[in-house]
Amino acid sequence: MRLKGKVALITGGARGQGAAEARLFAQEGANVIIADVLDSQGAKVEAEINETGGKCLYLHLDVSNKEDWDSAVYSALTRFGKLDILVNNAGVAAWGTNDETTEEEWDRVMDINAKGVFLGTQSVIPEMKKAGGGSIVNISSISGIVGQAGIQPVYNASKGAVRIFTKSIAIQYASDGIRANSVHPGPIDTDMIHDRISGKENEERIRNTVPLGRPAKPVEVAYGVFVPCFR
C-alpha cells in the first residue's frame, strides 16, 4: 500500500492505459479520481474499483476546457480534501502524413495532448503547494523523442511539447516539493491503437521495431507511472 493516504487524479481513466493506472493506484491505497469524456465507461471503472475495496470517484472532464478542470479539482478537494498526484494521461492519436493533416486536426490534437497537460498542471499546482508537495506524471510517447513514418507529425509535436513542458515544470516547482516526470511508451495494447497493432503485417512490424517484440501491456506502463508517485 505504497500510496496509502494519497489522492490521485488520472485523466483518460475510463479505459485502456488510464484505467490500468487507476486500478494499480487504488490497489496501492490511493484515493483515485478518474476523469474522462467517456462517461459510461468511466462509471464502470469507478464501480469496479469501489466494489473491490478501493476508493474511486469518476468525473466528466474535457481536458482542453479550463472550466472542466476547475470543477474537477474542486470535486476532488470536496471529496478527499487534498490532491497529491496528477497523471495527465488523456490523449488522442493521429495517423497518416503531414499532407493529410488539416488545420482542424492540428488544433484538436494539440488541444487535447498538449494544452490539456498545461491546463491540468496549472490547475493542481496551487493545491499541491498547500499540501507541501506532489507528483505530476505526464504521458508523452516515444513519438515525443523520434519521428515516425506512419504518424501525423502533429502527434509527434504534441508529445514533444509534453516532454519539454514537463522538464520546465520540474525545474520551476522543485522548491515547492512538486516533482514532474514524463513517461514515453512505445505501442501499448489498448483500444486506441488496436487496429494499428493487429494483423500479421503489423505484428511483424512490431517484432522488428520494438525491443520486446510485442506491444506493452497497460499494467506494465502503469508501473512506470506509479514509481514517481510513492515517495
CATH number of residue 41's parent domain: 3.40.50.720
Q: Is the pLDDT of residue 194 over 60?
A: no
pLDDT on residue 201: 66
**Which domain, by its residues, includes 46?**
7-189+218-229
1 falls within a domain: no
- What's the average model confidence in pLDDT over 179-186? 94
Local confidence band at 37 (pLDDT 50, 70, 90 cut-offs):
very high
78 falls within a domain: yes
pLDDT on residue 213: 64
Q: Is the pLDDT of residue 49 over 90?
A: yes
Which of 38, 3, 42, 39 has its CA nearest to residue 19?
Answer: 42
Residues 6+ apart with CB under 8 A from 40: none
33 falls within a domain: yes
How many domains, the chain? 1
pLDDT on residue 217: 85
123 and 73 Cβ atoms separated by less than 8 Å? yes
Q: Is the pLDDT of residue 147 over 80?
A: yes
| pLDDT above 70 coverage of the chain, percent | 87
From the number of C-beta atoms within 10 Å of its C-beta (0-12, 13-18, 19+), residue 27 rates as middle
In tens, the pLDDT along 80-130 reads: 999 999 999 999 999 899 999 999 999 999 999 999 999 999 999 999 999
205 falls within a domain: no
pLDDT on residue 33: 98
209 falls within a domain: no
Helices (H) and strands (E) in the chain, counts: 9, 6
Local confidence band at 2 (pLDDT 50, 70, 90 cut-offs):
very high
pLDDT on residue 197: 53
Catalytic residues: 155
pLDDT on residue 211: 74
157 falls within a domain: yes
pLDDT on residue 158: 98
20 falls within a domain: yes
pLDDT on residue 195: 63
pLDDT on residue 208: 63
211 falls within a domain: no
Asked whether the CA dihedral 14, 139, 24, 211 is positive or negative, the reply is: positive
Q: Is the pLDDT of residue 202 over 80?
A: no
